[in-house]
Amino acid sequence: MTEILHAWALAPAAIGTCCLTVDRGRARAPEFVAAVLMLVAMADAARAQPLVAPLGWAVLLVVAALAIAVLRRTRRAQRRDADAGARRAAAGPSIAMTVQTTLGLVVMAMLLIALIPHTAAASPGHHGGGGIGIFALAAAAAGAYAAASVVLTARAGTWLDRAQFAAMGVSVLAMGLGVALM
């Protein structure tokens, strides 16, 4: 059942990534790279024998979240001095999109870390450890992220933003359910 939920989480993640690709009106390259990174990490984690260890993916996702936060903060600081009209024209992604992307990377990293006892137990000659704490924490974070995505979806201005918020919320929720059912 867990593998099915992980596979089903890939579809909305792919849809969200496509929404970022289609929205050419804004500069969303960092968010697109983050979405592709999450998609690849999820696809690899859904495999019986992942190519990259879940901890490796988790580290990459957290580094990407930090990089996006720093990049967007720097760009906003540079635009602060610009004229209000020019700033509006080059607004790029909203703060909500940046926050959802960075938190999505962190929550996905938590979910991948929660998979470590599961993948360790599946390895021959290895006994999976880990208590229920990491599972509960990761599942709760996924639920909170999905709830926040519902609010962001309702408040989004364009259909592409709504689709992106909703797709990433559903994707993380499906991964969270997969972890909760382990």
176 neighbors 139 (Cβ within 8 angstroms): yes
CA distances (Å), origin 94, targets 28, 33, 68, 157, 181: 10, 16, 13, 10, 34
User: C-alpha angle with apex 16: 26 to 60, nearest 5 degrees?
Assistant: 90
Q: How far apart are CA 14 and CA 164, in angstroms?
A: 10
Neighbours of 148 (CB within 10 A): 18
Task: Provide long-range contacts, Cβ within 8 A and 24+ apart, for 69-77.
Answer: 69/98, 69/102, 71/30, 72/30, 72/98
Over the range 105-141, which residues count as b (16 or more CB within 10 Å of their CB) and which as e? Answer: bbbbbbbbbbbbbbbeeeeeeeeeebeeebbeebbeb
Q: How far apart are CA 19 and CA 100, in angstroms?
A: 15
Given this model, what pLDDT does residue 151 score? 93
Given this model, what pLDDT does residue 89 score? 43
Q: How far apart are CA 4 and CA 134, in angstroms?
A: 21
Given this model, what pLDDT does residue 59 score? 95
Going residue by residue through the chain, which has 182 residues, state the pLDDT in tens, using 9 for 90 and above. Answer: 566 666 677 777 877 777 767 766 565 778 888 888 988 988 888 887 889 998 999 999 999 999 988 887 766 555 655 545 454 444 445 788 888 889 999 999 999 898 776 555 444 444 444 556 788 888 899 999 999 999 999 988 888 888 888 988 998 888 888 877 77
Q: How far apart are CA 36 and CA 123, in angstroms?
A: 27
